[in-house]
């Protein structure tokens, strides 16, 4: 394991101990944006088109 991987693993461990939820399915910007869009829509009870979401995320 590289030093960077070890630091990352330690950070993840510390955050999960603080009750943060580790999301192994969010691995890149696209999956992060999709998760944000989904959560935003759920919380605000709306459905955004791609253009609306692009304006929101700029």
Alpha helix stretches (DSSP H) within the chain: 3-17, 29-44, 50-57
Query: In which residue are the tokens 């590289």 written?
Result: 2
Amino acid 39: pLDDT? 95
- What's this model's pTM, rounded to 2 decimal places? 0.70
Domain residue spans of the chain: 25-58
* pLDDT per 10-residue tile (average), the chain, 58 residues: 94 97 95 95 95 87
pLDDT given at position 1: 79
Place of tokens 């070890």: 6
């Amino acid at each position: 394991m590289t030093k960077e991987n070890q630091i990352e693993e330690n950070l993840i461990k510390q955050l999960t101990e603080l009750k943060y939820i580790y999301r192994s399915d969010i691995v890149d910007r696209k999956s992060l944006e999709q998760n944000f869009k989904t959560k935003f829509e759920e919380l605000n009870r709306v459905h955004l088109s791609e253009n609306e979401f692009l304006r929101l995320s700029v």
